[in-house]
Structure 1
Amino acid sequence: MNDIEHLAPGDDRPWSPEEAASIARAVNRAPSVHNTQPWSLSMHDRVVDLHQREDTAPSQHDPEGRDRTISCGAALTNLVLAVRKLGWRADIAFRDDPEHLASVAASRRLEPGPAEIQRYEAIADRASHRRPFEPRPVSGPDERALRSAAEELPPVRARWITGDAEALHLARLLTYAARVQHADQTYQRELASWIVQQADSKPSGVPAEALGEQGLGAVGLVSGATRAPDEAWLAARVESESVLLLSTPEDGLRAHLDAGAALENAWLEATHRGLGASVMTQCLQLGEIRRGLARGGGGPDSVQVLMRFGHPVAPVPRSARRPLEEIFDDDPR
């Protein structure tokens, strides 16, 4: 994904209704903080503009909008894959604007490659696996492929948490964050409002049955029902799963977009390979956790995302989505 100064589509015809719907469906399936789907689209000629909606932001969970912008970065990956699947080259112009984040132009005809097709097809199957994984580890080739997928989008850097010392360091940081956020009643009330029961038909929020009560995935989203883990026990869980840390040289709007795009790239690669994944960013709302993880990696990068990968034990419930027509922005800005 490279910045470009001018968008010059090679076909003046506007997107057809079928093409527009295909693009919207792909964006609609992107992961987002508490399934808030904080994006909207506008289209003109053969350009798609990605906007950020601030009206859906959970104020306690995401006070600075980090997760909201990371979510929009994931949507951008799906948007690009949808344009590529339609047989167009996708040129991206990033905007220094928190409302109008990026524009994607179909500049000329170009058939998608095999990896792009595979990841596009994985969009429909991608889901958050917050419960424990099977005990068998992710293979070395799969780990290399996932890290490579994340790092296809520079300047994002990816590294696996490896060894006893790193696992214990991460476990200590996660247990600290879990205690802080479990005790924050204002935070917990807001989180509870985003957890929906199976009978509910809300187009946003996280299904209650998708949440775990213990294990690494549960610590990644600490609710009132989460059991506070023992550090040594959690360190063993970190070592038994594959935990990937994504970081960027800078910290800001563009860095958060880049991290989200890389996150989704790796997640779709994992889905294509039959692996499950979930994202842990709740703990990273605490600045001391981000700083602790950056020091643990031996570098000055800003930590943006933690991801866990493994072999799913069972299928997980899918989160609901807004109707496609609600994704389109009537004010193209």
Structure 2
Amino acid sequence: MSRDGKVVTMSQESQPATALAEAAATAGHAPSVHNTQPWSWRVLPDALELRSVADRQLAASDPEGRLLAVSCGAALHHARVALAAQGWRAVVRRRPDPDDSALLARLTDLSRVPADPEAMRLVQCMRVRHTDRRPVSDEPVPISALDQITRAVTGEGGRLHILDRDQVLELAATAGQAHAVEAEDPELRAELAYWTSRADAGTGLTAEVLPEQPAQTTVPGRDFGRPGSLPIGPGHDQAAAYAMLHGDEDGPDSWLRAGEALSAGWLTATRLGVSVVPLSAVVEVPGTRQTLRQLLSGIGFPYLVLRLGIADPAHAGPPHTPRLTTAQVVDTSAVR
């Protein structure tokens, strides 16, 4: 079944092009910065191409395209997992054309393999995964869960550094500094206002997923410039774990891989009942991104900070963010 609810028969599933189209549709569940969904897919008879969409890049806060590439990498991992769940193996060629920077990946050379049970479970996690910005409960994240999430990230070539208490306090100060810098930038404020006022547009952050007031937490959340309607309750983040997704390089290839690692870690967290909230403001500001690198002792480049926690079970969480339709992001004209 596709993201739009279309039932696919077993005979159809045996066709590579249909499997690729279904994988691209399923990838629409992937997380992206401000829910920009900055990707598009082109289905060919024997390949699937992933492209970035410049119109959905955050020109003010992400001029280098770091967060765009991370977002697209998450979609790429979603598509790979969806293929594995259907019983297909594909060769992934990342950034296959040096002269076409928008072409991020091509999945080719499909072959039949047994359906992967773990991939099938992760596809189910894609459908329920969401970002819950409420304060977490007082229940700490089990060490075993952090270990599994870390292994999932590592399995995709990324690294996850769990911050100790002193580093969390430094992160809190760094996040506050990043928010102060962005609050003084009119272009950044205008960009944020745009992506938080796109009701019924299929992208962006609706009021229902944004806190109605700032939470009293150690690490401040982003000020979206307007209150949402999500009740936050009396909780705190004292039981949360904070982690830094990072790697050895800081270029387009590594950003794409970081997105794949993010997806793997987030889906694993969802399977384990762990809430994930990405904190991107601290990597958007050059000065605070450098501070994060110092937390890594200068041996890695930070891509994203994650808050990991157990959601408060006493209050209903936010709805899912809106999504573009499959027809808007998946081009199947070459196989019709």
Into which bin does the TM-score normalised by the smaller protein fall? 0.7 to 0.9
Gap regions ≥5 residues in structure 2: 1-13, 228-234
Q: For residue 290 of structure 1, what is the aligned residue in structure 2?
A: 289
Aligned-partner SS, 1:15: helix
SS in 2 for 1:316: coil
Tell me if the contact between 1:207 and 1:317 (Cα under 8 Å) persists in the aligned partners.
Answer: no
- Which deviates further from its counterpart, 138-147 or 295-304? 295-304
Q: Which residue of 1 is the match for residue 304 of structure 2?
A: 305
Distance 1:174 1:237 in 2: 16
- Equivalent residues of 1:88, 1:106 under 8 A apart: no
Which residue matches 1:189? 190
Give the corresponding residue for 1:230: none
Q: Which moved more, 1:96-105 or 1:211-220?
A: 211-220
**What are the within-5 Å matches in structure 2 for residues 39-78 of structure 1?**
39-78=39-78
1:210 aligns with 2:209: yes
For residues 169-318 of structure 1, what are the structure 2 equivalents within 5 Å? 169-196=170-197, 200-212=199-211, 213-215=213-215, 219-225=220-226, 239-313=238-312, 314-318=316-320
Runs of 4+ more than 3 Å apart: 215-220, 236-239, 329-332
CA distance in 2, matches of 1:35, 1:167: 26
Q: Indicate if the aligned counterparts of 2:41 and 2:330 stay in contact, CA closer than 8 A.
A: yes
1:6-155 alignment runs, 5 A limit? 14-16=16-18, 19-95=19-95, 96=98, 97-154=100-157
Decide whether aligned partners of structure 1 residues 73 and 220 sit closer, same or farther in structure 2, where only a CA change above 3 A counts.
Answer: farther
Separation of aligned partners in 1, 2:297 and 2:74? 27
Letter aligned with residue 220 of structure 2: V
Measure the CA separation in 2 of the matches of 1:41 and 1:134: 38
For the residues of structure 2 that align with 1:108 and 1:274, how far apart are their CA atoms? 33
Aligned positions, number: 306
Paired residue for 1:231? none
TM-score (norm 2): 0.84
Contact 1:182 1:223 in 2 (8 A): no
Query: What CA distance in whole angstroms lies between the structure 1 residues aligned with 2:149 and 2:61?
Result: 28
Write the distance in 2 (CA, Å) between the matches of 1:190 and 1:64: 16
Distance change (3 Å), C-alpha of 1:146 and 1:124: same
Question: What is the match of residue 6 of structure 1?
Answer: none
Range moving further from structure 2, 108-117 or 277-286: 108-117
Mark the CA change 1:311 to 1:13 in structure 2 (over 3 Å): closer, same or farther.
closer
Distance 2:203 2:84 in 1: 28
Whole-angstrom CA distance in 2 between matches of 1:60 and 1:260: 20
Cα pair 1:128 1:278 within 8 Å, conserved: yes
Identity %: 28
Displacement after TM superposition at 1:30 (Å): 0.6
AA in 2 matched with 1:41: W
Retained in 2: the 8 A contact 1:21–1:324? Answer: no
- Residue 161 of structure 1 aligns with an amino acid whose one-letter code is L
Question: 1:14/1:150 Cα in 2 relative to 1: closer, same or farther (>3 Å)?
Answer: closer
Unmatched tracts of structure 1, length 5 or more: 1-11, 227-235
| 1:188-213 Cα deviation digits (max 9, x unpaired) | 1220111137xx31211101221223
Q: Quick one: distance in 1 between partners of 2:78 and 2:126?
A: 7
Deviation at 1:220, TM superposition (A): 4.0
Tell me, yes or no, if the aligned pair for 2:218 and 2:238 is still in contact at 8 Å: no
2:27 partner SS: helix
> What secondary structure sits across from 1:263 in the alignment?
helix
Q: How far apart, CA to CA, are the structure 1 residues paired with 2:326 and 2:109?
A: 21
**Range moving further from structure 2, 255-264 or 98-107:** 98-107
Amino acid at match of 1:158: L
Evaluate the alpha carbon distance shift between residue 328 and residue 225 of structure 1 in structure 2; reply closer, same or farther with a 3 A threshold: closer
For residues 270-303 of structure 1, give each alpha carbon's deviation from its aligned partner in whole angstroms, at most 9, with x where no partner exists.
1111221111112211111121111112232111
Instruction: Report deviation, 1:325.
Output: 1.0
Q: Which amino acid aligns with 1:142?
A: A
CA displacement at 1:184 relative to structure 2: 2.3
SS of 2:48's partner is strand
